[in-house]
Structure 1
Amino acid sequence: MEKTISEQCKLIGEHPNSSFFYEWLESVDEPVTENKKHRHLSEKKASREFAIEQISDWIVKHHIDEKRIKRLKKKREEILDKYGFEEYVKKQTLLPTVDKTKKGNGTEIILAEYLQETTKLNLLVYRLRYNTNVNQAMKGDDVLLLNRENLYEKVIIGESKFRTTPSKAVIEEVTKEFAKEMRLPLSVTFLAQKMSDFGDEDLAESLEDLNVTLHDGKVPIISVGFLLSNHNTTANVNRHLVSNNPNFVFVSLGIEKPEELIAMSFDLAEEKLKRGNDE
């Protein structure tokens, strides 16, 4: 018997059947209605420590480029005193220290990594590396995914939110830009500029051309809302989600004490930086 593919899978792909997200999360695609496409994720038992380990690595990767990591390792060799190096790293302010920004960035990172896994599309730039103030939220698309080999295949944009407790208001906040009509991505020109900075003028020009084509409605745009909150998240999304955009999917992740997941992941990321990330 042929397997039925959910509308959620058609838009953002299947939940992974191996790898980190399979080990960490259960996934259920809720029954689709005319105004609702919802995938809810939940944490598997005894997987929290495993998740923190992986998310901490992603936090470092999304915030700090490889060249700066190499400079840190070089500095660690120069500063032989362990506590002297830890103080040096602390003063660099490589990661956000503001709780609200940690929660926002951490949730964005989880969504970006999840959608890369399910869609097999590309995150061309780790945008958090280019935030001029690490403790402030960045403007633009939280997540923007494309096929590097065929930019016109589809575009996926994502909006992520963290809330300790879910509410109707935050669900409406996530969906307000996506719910009624297809919103254009905000960050294509930012990507084009970064590709030019990296010396890839061909890709920069292609992205600029794509930006024009998107305004003509000729490229599929998939919109994804994401809410990381507590164990009541799924029920609240099912109760309050309303969208008239056929290409909109809401992904919810409801776990116990979500604030601890983010806080402990950032703490471990900071610790890895202080010890050179190689012990």
Structure 2
Amino acid sequence: MPRQEDLIGTHPTPPNIFGKWLASTDHPETDSQCHRSLSPTPDLSEDELIDWLADKIILHHYNDNKVERLKNKYGQLGFAEYAENIRMIPNVDKVRKGNMTEIILCEYVLSSTNKPLIKTFRFRYSTNVDQSMKGDDVLMVDYDNEANDIEVYLGEAKFRQTPTPQVVKDIAKALSTDTKPLSFTFLVDRLLESDATAEMGNRLDQFVVETVKQQGRITYSGLLLSKEPCATTVQNHLDSDNQKLVFLSLGVADPTDLMNKVFTKAEEKLANPDQI
């Protein structure tokens, strides 16, 4: 089994959206590389992709309560006045790029592992939506109830209009063998806030991050979203001694154009909240 599959599972197949949108190649692994390249297929229209990604943007930024408030108040106050007051989607270009890339990585790992990973939608807790959030880009947990054990999935995601050797090195460095999940306590605290997830929060609270790391119970995934030569740049410059790191490259024709269309569609949906 290729190490890519061992770490995060096989590439999703249709009808999963990633199976329709992307083809994948698991490149031969080496001591310093474990790379899965992703590229668009003609099997998913741009409109379908943008609509799906816009829904994910809203899901990751708005909790159900805020969506319901939008639906209830829209007719009374009008979208512009009320929605701006509870705005969770960033306006800043750099933050939008980063958020979308993190969401794609999160959703891809969820799909490829095909496991009910425990997660929190961290952008819902941003105190300044136009500033990048600190902490892990992606943090999810697979909890084994019978063995009372966990596997942590830690991710780093970066957007570049044009791929560079330096960004490949930056992602690999951020996911070195020394990297620990800094947001684990944040995840537990969010779980403990709700009666529906408090029991799981209490179970995870017993695990010490340093011990989890020492036991090798962390899987690392990096994503570079960039133009189509992205895979070649990763192949030429990825160098990591972390044997539990799988590097994902996603090359599209114009990533900035994709980002702009996705956020425009998300704003259109929020302007008509009954469609959400």
Picking from 92, 116, 120, the partner of 1:98 is: 92
Q: 1:173 to 1:216 in 2, by over 3 A?
A: closer
In structure 1, the residue matched to 2:58 is 60
The Cα RMSD (Å) is 1.8
Cα distance between partner residues in 2 of 1:6 and 1:158: 20
The percentage of aligned residue pairs carrying the same residue is 38
2:242 aligned with 1:245: yes
In structure 2, the residue matched to 1:224 is 221
In structure 2, the residue matched to 1:70 is 68
Q: How does 1:177-196 map to 2 (within 5 A)?
A: 177-179=174-176, 181-196=177-192
Give yes or no for contact 2:144–2:150 (8 Å, CA) kept in 1.
no
In structure 2, the residue matched to 1:145 is 140
TM-score, with structure 2 as normaliser: 0.92
Aligned residue pair count: 270
Deviations 1:32-55 (A, max 9, x none): 111100000001136322211100
SS at match of 1:135: coil
SS at match of 2:181: coil
Paired residue type of 2:8: I
Give yes or no for contact 2:140–2:154 (8 Å, CA) kept in 1.
yes
In structure 1, the residue matched to 2:37 is 40
Cα distance between partner residues in 1 of 2:133 and 2:143: 23
Picking from 2, 8, 17, the partner of 2:4 is: 8
Give yes or no for contact 1:228–1:254 (8 Å, CA) kept in 2.
yes
In structure 2, the residue matched to 1:124 is 119
Cα distance between partner residues in 2 of 1:132 and 1:216: 30
Give yes or no for contact 2:156–2:221 (8 Å, CA) kept in 1.
yes
Deviation, 1:24, is 0.5
SS at match of 2:24: strand
Picking from 106, 112, 134, the partner of 2:129 is: 134
Deviation, 1:190, is 0.5
Cα distance between partner residues in 2 of 1:182 and 1:249: 16
Deviations 1:227-251 (A, max 9, x none): 0000110000000000101101100
Cα distance between partner residues in 2 of 1:97 and 1:212: 34
Deviation, 1:78, is 2.7
Give yes or no for contact 1:184–1:214 (8 Å, CA) kept in 2.
no
Paired residue type of 2:3: E
2:166 aligned with 1:169: yes
Give yes or no for contact 1:182–1:221 (8 Å, CA) kept in 2.
no
Deviations 1:78-124 (A, max 9, x none): 34xxxx32443245433100000000000000110010111124142
Deviation, 1:17, is 1.2
Cα distance between partner residues in 1 of 2:236 and 2:274: 43
Q: 1:27 to 1:212 in 2, by over 3 A?
A: closer
TM-score, with structure 1 as normaliser: 0.91
Unaligned runs of 5+ in 2: none
SS at match of 2:139: strand
Deviation, 1:149, is 4.8
Cα distance between partner residues in 2 of 1:48 and 1:190: 35
Q: How does 1:12-23 map to 2 (within 5 A)?
A: 12-18=8-14, 19-23=16-20
In structure 1, the residue matched to 2:107 is 113
Cα distance between partner residues in 1 of 2:118 and 2:99: 15
Give yes or no for contact 2:156–2:175 (8 Å, CA) kept in 1.
no
Paired residue type of 2:141: L
Give yes or no for contact 1:182–1:223 (8 Å, CA) kept in 2.
no
Give yes or no for contact 2:34–2:247 (8 Å, CA) kept in 1.
yes
SS at match of 1:96: coil
Unaligned runs of 5+ in 1: none
